[in-house]
Structure 1
Amino acid sequence: MRIAFFGSSLVSAYWNGAATYYRGVLRALAGRGHEVTFYEPDAYERQAHRDIPDPPWARVVIYQPREPDALRCLEEAARADLVVKASGVGVLDALLEREALRLRRAGGLVAFWDVDAPATLERLRADADDPFRPLVPRYDLVFTYGGGPPVVEAYLGLGARRCVPIYNALDPDTHHPAPAEPRFAADLSFLGNRLPDREARVREFFLRAAAALPGRRFLLGGAGWGDLALPANVRWLGHVYTREHNALNCSALAVLNVSRESMARFGHSPATRVFEAAGAGACLVSDAWVGMERFLEPGREVLLAESGAEVAEALGGLTPARAAAIGAAARRRVLAEHTYAHRALEVEAALGLRPGAGAAA
């Protein structure tokens, strides 16, 4: 199957939390014989902050963020068997969502892939005149990055023909155990860009825990936190490139996951860092949300907290031996059930493909 995918960026994770997800899913699909072309705009300085070169398993087309350039890419994509418009491209989203539907043809499919379904659905709920709302029923299929039954029900309520969650997962070739690095040494590390519906929860689960444990070391990675007043025991790293994630995850006693507010509210939305940390064998401490047990077993494969005080309590009682045991159990679980190879099979099933039917025509 020839796949044309319009997304934010495949080659840069700079202000682009979906990069690891795109790479994992599309690399696994390419490995099953599908031919992938990824169209991304030259925007937000992402090309200046590349994490990877153009990969051998996908053709990357970078276009200028102008309407004529986007339309030329769509014209080329008309030859694909599956055209995907992802949410959050960041430029010309409304144009791409509308014009991609013109590529529907006999024997071909056009899908919308929502990498931030809670935010999209809340936006549509708040604005009855949102231009995307009447387009939802016209797509052959809606894939989502997560969200579980609440997201599926919400999309079906908007008239979607089908809605299939394809959750984050692990690419074991990319995220795996690595030697610890002194510059990343900490008792608790957290990696995430500063976003409006994440900041309050980071203050609660991370900064409040740091304030409660002044003798412990905390590490904050991600863009946008530079002007935030931090406790003396918190060190800010700035943007952390994907190639450094394994060392970061393997250098702390524990790694924190903090969901964005909308994702925590919908549940069933494990962030990329959940699988990155588990793949590295790190001990993960996560904010609690509905559906975590689908991915990791609380108390054995992940530690859950309802507040910053509970994060501090979990960290205060955590020994290196227990942290290692939790990390090892999490790694076994995700390798057995939650790799992108598993997700590629789920995508093919949703598309009605027979196993082994991926070879490009």
Structure 2
Amino acid sequence: MKILHIGKFYPPFLGGIETVNYDLVEGLHKQNIKTDVLVVNHRKEKFSSDSSKTYLFRAQKNITISSQPISISYLKKIFQCADNYDIVHLHLPNPLATLPFILISKRKFKLVLHWHSDIVKQKVLKFFYKPIQNMVLKKADSIVTTSANYGKESIDLQKFQSKIKNIPIGITPAENKYKSNTLTKIIAGKSNKKIIFALGRLVYYKGFSYLLEAAQQINDEAIIIIGGTGPLRQNLQRFIDTHHLQEKVFLVGRISDEELPDYFTQCDIFCFPSTEKSEAFGVSQIEAMAYGKPVVSTNIKGSGVPWVNQNGISGLVVPPKNPIALATAINLLTNNKKLYADLSIGAKNRYEKLFTKEKMVSSFIELYKNLKNDNK
């Protein structure tokens, strides 16, 4: 069985879809399943294969429009090689990559669309792209969503429910081998404080502004540490300074992969305050669960976020854009030892049941085999 994964970019480019693509491909290789990857090069180099990864092909980017890289060689390569595979696995959203599949009339391969998210922000692009999107959805043999919630609620997928298969994202948590100097300095002399950890790009839909408002209501036995970079950093720091929260809320910037496990290990509660459907799943929630940390997240309508973190099982789920609800949930967990202990166990159990990398890989292998056998 030969598989081709088509993505927008690939590590070392950092992104949620890219990480899932990488983990899945590496997992398939470990199962001795021939898997190649075709992406656009996020750098300026011409089309090339990675010398250290003979299965990885990066096409030269010509221009970028509305976050979409445009690459002529990328399109040519899809046309040239797609029929050499049993399964073509296309990671979406990625409008450019869908174009060849509406033009290929006869094909031997099965087409899997991995629906990571609807196109939410680029509304003008989506208006013109939607007819093409619908044509590709009609041609797909299977559409994979990361949660049942998202598949059922997505307006784009309403006519294609019979094709949907839900396969949650899975991860393997890294070992905590390194101590973060930044974290060590922050918690020095604060051994009696509960640590609330949040992580993500400092952008509007992550909801960190609501967490900062909540900080004013969170009891003084807790400190809040927010990891990540982004355009809202100055605004968030200004709020911290203006409201005299410098000893309670800490923006630590980008956290390296080596140091991240230390943050998850040391924290008591993980907070995921996102506000918009742009947040389709929330991988950092399952990272926290893997370390047995209860999650306080938001009930984003149509998103998989409140499915990932089950209210009363692995954490607490509150309405989005509601600082008082965030503060109340965090205070409840810091004050109620039994509830905290129960949700810690529940978080770990939910991760092990649903969100391991091994389970994700095995679910896709089963899907691939079933699709391939349909040809017989």
What is residue 233 of structure 2 aligned with on the other side?
Answer: 226
Distance in 2, Cα, partners of 1:209 & 1:36 = 46
Distance in 1, Cα, partners of 2:147 & 2:235 = 30
What is residue 17 of structure 1 aligned with on the other side?
Answer: 16
* Corresponding residue SS for 1:353: helix
Cα deviations across residues 24-60 of structure 1 (Å, max 9, x unaligned)? 3333333333222222222279xxxxxxx9987x832
Aligned length: 335
Deviation at 1:134, TM superposition (A): 3.2
How does 1:12-91 map onto structure 2 within 5 Å?
Answer: 12=12, 14=14, 16-43=15-42, 59-66=55-62, 67-74=71-78, 75-89=80-94
How does 1:124-273 map onto structure 2 within 5 Å?
Answer: 131-146=132-147, 148=149, 150-151=151-152, 154-158=155-159, 162-171=163-172, 174-175=173-174, 181=180, 183-184=182-183, 185=187, 187-196=195-204, 198-199=205-206, 201-204=207-210, 206-213=211-218, 215=220, 216-224=222-230, 225-230=232-237, 231=240, 232=246, 233-262=248-277, 269-273=280-284
Distance in 2, Cα, partners of 1:157 & 1:335 = 31
Which is further off, 300-309 or 284-293? 284-293
| Aligned residue among 292, 317, 320 for 1:304 | 317
Q: Which has the higher contact order (CA 8 A, sep 6+)?
A: 1
Distance in 2, Cα, partners of 1:187 & 1:40 = 39
* Corresponding residue SS for 2:234: coil
Distance in 2, Cα, partners of 1:54 & 1:250 = 36
CA contact 1:274–1:284 (8 Å) conserved in 2: yes
* Corresponding residue SS for 2:362: helix
Distance in 2, Cα, partners of 1:156 & 1:247 = 39
Cα deviations across residues 111-137 of structure 1 (Å, max 9, x unaligned)? 222211363998798568654333321
| Aligned residue among 275, 297, 300 for 2:286 | 275
Q: Percent identity?
A: 13
Deviation at 1:97, TM superposition (A): 0.9
Are residues 120 and 245 of structure 1, via their aligned partners in 2, closer, same or farther at CA, if it must alter by over 3 Å?
same
* Corresponding residue SS for 2:250: strand
Which is further off, 69-78 or 330-339? 69-78
Cα deviations across residues 135-165 of structure 1 (Å, max 9, x unaligned)? 3212222222335365477445445771223
Amino acid at match of 2:263: L
Distance in 1, Cα, partners of 2:122 & 2:362 = 26
Does 1:112 pair with 2:118?
no
Deviation at 1:295, TM superposition (A): 4.5
How does 1:341-356 map onto structure 2 within 5 Å?
Answer: 341-353=358-370
Amino acid at match of 2:235: L
- Tell me the TM-score normalised to structure 2 length: 0.73
* Corresponding residue SS for 1:111: strand
Amino acid at match of 1:25: L
Deviation at 1:257, TM superposition (A): 1.6
Deviation at 1:13, TM superposition (A): 5.2
| Aligned residue among 326, 339, 355 for 2:356 | 339
Amino acid at match of 2:16: G
Cα deviations across residues 82-107 of structure 1 (Å, max 9, x unaligned)? 12222245xxx32x211145567554
- Tell me the TM-score normalised to structure 1 length: 0.76
Indicate the RMSD between aligned Cα atoms, in angstroms: 3.8
Distance in 2, Cα, partners of 1:55 & 1:308 = 48
* Corresponding residue SS for 2:16: coil
Distance in 2, Cα, partners of 1:349 & 1:154 = 27
Are residues 178 and 354 of structure 1, via their aligned partners in 2, closer, same or farther at CA, if it must alter by over 3 Å?
farther
Are residues 347 and 124 of structure 1, via their aligned partners in 2, closer, same or farther at CA, if it must alter by over 3 Å?
farther
Deviation at 1:294, TM superposition (A): 5.3
Which structure has the bigger radius of gyration?
A: 2
Deviation at 1:195, TM superposition (A): 3.7
Deviation at 1:261, TM superposition (A): 0.7
Deviation at 1:340, TM superposition (A): 2.5
Are residues 294 and 161 of structure 1, via their aligned partners in 2, closer, same or farther at CA, if it must alter by over 3 Å?
closer
